[in-house]
Amino acid sequence: MKAAWAWKEMAAKAWNVLHEGKPFTLVFVAAIWLLWHVPEWEFVAFWVAVLAVVVAVAPLAAAVVWWDFPLHLRAFLLLPLAVSLWVYPLPPLGGVLMALGAYALFTVMVWGVPDSQRHAGTPWTSLPRLWKRVLRHSDSTSRNAREQIPKILLLLVACEGVYAAITGSGMHLWDGRTFWLLHAIFTGLYALYAWGLHRWWFPLKTAAPPRYAEAPDAAPPNVDRL
């Protein structure tokens, strides 16, 4: 009995990680980036560099996952993604295609088709319909493609750029001091950009109507019972 409950608890936690947008972004980016560097797993120096990448990218990753971009805010993610391509070296095209293919495979084939078939009885062959649902999703879940894909690509570009700067590999756009300065500036500007959008353009919390927020002037009148 205890083993069954432990298994159910683990399954529920895994479902939350894969379903909720914030933890999914971090787990997916980490998995894909490590898969990019499978040939280097056998070297201890690689894992030391991985720890350095985690420390350097952690503030940017925290800012990326902290603010959600639902509805029309998703279009504003394209600007920081474009700027990141100027700050960091371009990632390998094969790696980008791998990330997009893995996301499509997960959200549609591994997650979307079985989930829709189990809950709504959707046929297993309804891929076009599921694609439309993934592209139209506006909530902050892993299947919100128009929010997840820009965030995933931005963090992958940053991780690969930081890794190249630490190890001295790949193509370098800037010298070491300039790169780290640009990385710090980009991280701060992204956090300020996201905060400003939610603070002035898209406040998620609306003020309560005054007539409901204010206390009543007097106690309600007594009602005579029949």
Average pLDDT value for the chain: 77
**219 occurs within a structural domain:** no
pLDDT at 120: 54
Angle between helices 145-167 and 44-66 (to 10 degrees): 140
Percent of the chain with pLDDT over 90: 32
185: tokens are 């500036």
In a domain, 176, yes or no: yes
Residue 225 lies in a domain: no
The 10s digit of each residue's pLDDT in 53-94 is 999 999 999 999 988 887 677 788 899 999 999 999 888 888
DSSP conformational letter for 20: B
The reported pLDDT for the residue numbered 167 is: 87
Tally of domains within the chain: 1
Range of the domain at 144: 2-204
Strand partners, 20: 141
Q: CB under 8 Å to 149, separation ≥6 — which residues?
A: 100, 103
Q: Is residue 162 domain-resident?
A: yes
pLDDT digits (tens, 9 = 90+) for 122-180: 555 555 555 555 555 556 666 677 888 899 999 999 999 999 989 887 666 778 788 99
Could you tell me which of 195, 208, 107 has the C-alpha nearest to residue 148? Answer: 107
The overall pTM is greater than 0.95: no
Question: pLDDT: is 186 or 169 the higher one?
Answer: 186
Among candidate residues 143, 160, 142, the one with its CA nearest the CA of residue 60 = 160
| Residue 212 maps to a domain | no
pLDDT for the residue 127: 56
Nearest to 89, CA basis, from 162, 8, 194: 162
Residue 209 lies in a domain: no
Of residues 136, 140, 120, the one with CA closest to residue 21: 140
How far is residue 193's CA from residue 203's CA, in Å, rounded to a whole number?
A: 14
Asked if residue 224 belongs to a domain, the reply is no
Helix axes 127-136, 145-167, angle to 10 degrees: 70
**Residue 79 included in any domain:** yes
